[in-house]
Amino acid sequence: MNIQEVIALVKRTKELVENQELAEHIKVKGPADYVTQVDIRVQNFLKEELSRLAPQIQFLGEEAGLQEITGDSFWILDPIDGTTNLIHGYLHSTVSLGLYRQGEIVMGIVYDPFREEVFWAEKGKGCYLNNRSVRVANSRSLSETIIGVGTTPYQRELAGKNFQIFRRVFDCCQDIRRTGSAAMELAYTACGRQGGYFEACLQPWDYAAGLLLVQEAGGMVTDFLGEPTDPRKAGSVLATNGLLHQELLDLLNA
Ligand code: IPD
Ligand code: CA
Ligand code: CA
């Protein structure tokens, strides 16, 4: 299996993601947390096609219910990252697919069908946007850049602390951004559209692929304490071009 075959599969989800009628079939999962027929169909399609392409690799997908992972090699899929955007026709949703192997993410793909942008990386081989190699921004301080923030919308109890942090960061940078897709935020950090991005709690499928994109583009990813993240587990995520990491860590923990 090579990454171009996997990218080709992921790109075949375009029609499903752009199907507004399917996006209107909505179920509530939790407070402000929804799933649509698009999420389900994209996941079913990729689960089946990936198992055909690489039968030995297990599968962890957001919409599959509880799954026990026993092997040391598995896909981590967010079929739609940015479901709330999808429901509102906001056109900022991505398909995010990572491959975990023996302790690390070795392949990451984030696909934005609305802009025909595929961000992809393999361990040790750099980061690409479509056919072009990309790098993180070269900003040396927050005053030279914009920063993406995540609001942890399904954990409203974190809002007080989150918004205090946003204010501190806003006061130091050119502006803050919020796309509504964690995977897109990580991809935009990887290709230098923003200096960094952080969110107080993400699930493995939100950040597994984006984590590798940022690292392969020359950036840095840790939790809010500066420790390495474990992409099998939920937790806080801070991704930057590396140069801004300490400045942001200080603001997160002020
Ligand atoms: C959510 C999005 C959102 C982020 C949330 C995620 P979903 O994923 O990435 O931007 O703030 O933390 O859960 O529910 O749209 O797949
Ligand atoms: Ca997600
Ligand atoms: Ca999702």
| pTM to 2 decimal places | 0.97
76-116 pLDDT, tens digit per residue, is 999 999 999 999 999 999 999 999 999 999 999 999 999 99
Fold of 3-134: Fructose-1,6-Bisphosphatase; Chain A, domain 1 (3.30.540)
Predicted local confidence at residue 128, as pLDDT: 98
Residue whose CA is at the smallest distance from ligand 1 atom 5: 152
- In Å, what is the CA distance from 7 to each residue of 63, 115, 120? 21, 15, 8
Distance CA 93, CA 96 (A): 10
142-252: in CATH 3.40.190.80: yes
For the CA of 92, the nearest ligand: 1
Q: Among 35, 81, 178, which residue has the most ligand 1 atoms within 8 Å of its CB, making it the best to mutate?
A: 81
How much of the chain is in helix, strand and coil states, percent to nearest 5? 35, 30, 35
Q: Which residues line ligand 1 (CB under 6 A)?
A: 78, 81-84, 150-154, 180-182, 199, 202, 206
47-60 pLDDT, tens digit per residue, is 999 999 999 999 99
Q: Among 149, 181, 207, 238, which residue has the most ligand 1 atoms within 8 Å of its CB, making it the best to mutate?
A: 181
Tokens describing residue 173? 């940078």
SS3 242: coil
Neighbours of 44 (CB within 10 A): 15
Place of tokens 């479901």: 83
Query: Ligand 1, closest atom to CA 178?
Result: 10
Distance CA 100, CA 11 (A): 20
The total number of residues written for the chain in this structure: 254
Domain extents for the chain? 3-134, 142-252
For the CA of 29, the nearest ligand: 1
Predicted local confidence at residue 29, as pLDDT: 80
* Exposure string for 16-34, b = 16+ CB within 10 A, e = fewer: bbebeebbeebeeeeeeee
Question: How many Å lie between the centroid of ligand 3 and the Cα of residue 92?
Answer: 12
